[in-house]
Amino acid sequence: MNAADKIRCDACPVMCYIAPGQTGACDRYANDAGRIIRTDPVVMLSHTVQGGGRVVPFALRDWDGDPLPGDTFVTGIGAGTTYPDYKPAPFIVSSRIEGADMVTVVTEAIFSYCGVKVKIDTDRFLGPEGATVRAGGEAVGHVSTAEYGSQMLSLGGVHHLTGGSKAEGRLTCAALLSLCNGEAVELTIDGGSTVVVQAGRPPVVDGTPERRMRVGCGSATIGMFASQWRGLVDEVVVVDDHITGVVSEHQAGKVLGWEPTGIRIKGHRSTPGRYFRVSEPGLGWGGTRLTDPLEILGPWEAKKGARPGLTLLMVSTTGEEFGFYVLDEELRPQAQPLPQALRATVGLIDENCEPSLCTVLFMGGAGGSLRAGVTRNPVRLTRSVQAGVTRLTSGGADCYVWPGGGITFMVDVTALPPGAFGAVPTPALVAPLEFTLPREAYLAMGGHEDSIRTLDQVVAGGGEYPVAARVEPWPSEAGASPRTPGVFQKVQRP
Q: pLDDT digit string (tens) for 358-390? A: 999 999 999 888 899 999 999 999 999 999 999
Would you place residue 64 in the very low, low, confident or very high pLDDT band (cuts 50, 70, 90)? Answer: low
DSSP secondary-structure letter at 297? B
Mean pLDDT of the chain: 89
How many domains does the structure of the chain reveal?
1
369, part of any domain = no
The number of CA neighbours under 13 Å toward the Cβ of 380 is 14
304 within a domain of the structure (yes/no): yes
Mean pLDDT of all residues in 425-450: 95
Q: Which domain holds residue 258?
A: 218-351
Is the residue at 438 inside a domain? Answer: no
Dump pLDDT digits (tens) for 341-352.
999 999 999 999
List of residues 6+ apart from 439 with CB closer than 8 A: 94, 101, 102, 103, 452
- The reply to whether 278 falls in a domain is yes
Q: Evaluate the CA torsion angle 327, 330, 331, 335 in order and state its sign.
A: negative
Please state the rounded mean pLDDT for residues 1-11. Answer: 76
Q: Which amino acid is at 241?
A: D
Flag whether pLDDT at 93 surpasses 70. Answer: yes
Residue 24 lies in a domain: no
Angle at 459 between CA 46 and CA 177, to 5 degrees: 60
Q: Which range (119-133, 187-201, 473-487) has the least confidence?
A: 473-487
pTM of the predicted model as reported, rounded to 2 decimal places: 0.85
**pLDDT for 53:** 66
pLDDT of residue 433: 96
Q: Per DSSP, which regions of 2-46 are E strands? A: 7-8, 17-18, 29-32, 35-38, 42-46
> What is the rounded distance in angstroms from the CA atom of residue 176 to the CA atom of residue 185?
9
| pLDDT band for position 63 (cuts 50, 70, 90) | low
Looking at the domain assignment, is residue 434 inside a domain?
no
Residues with Cβ within 8 Å of residue 485, at least 6 apart in sequence: none
Q: Answer yes or no: is 475 within a domain.
A: no
Q: N- to C-terminal Cα distance for the chain? A: 20
What distance in Å separates the CA atoms of residue 189 and residue 118, rounded to the nearest whole number?
Answer: 14
Query: What confidence tens digit (pLDDT) does each residue in 98-149 have?
Result: 788 999 999 999 999 999 999 999 988 899 999 999 999 999 999 999 888 8
Has residue 237 been placed in a domain? yes
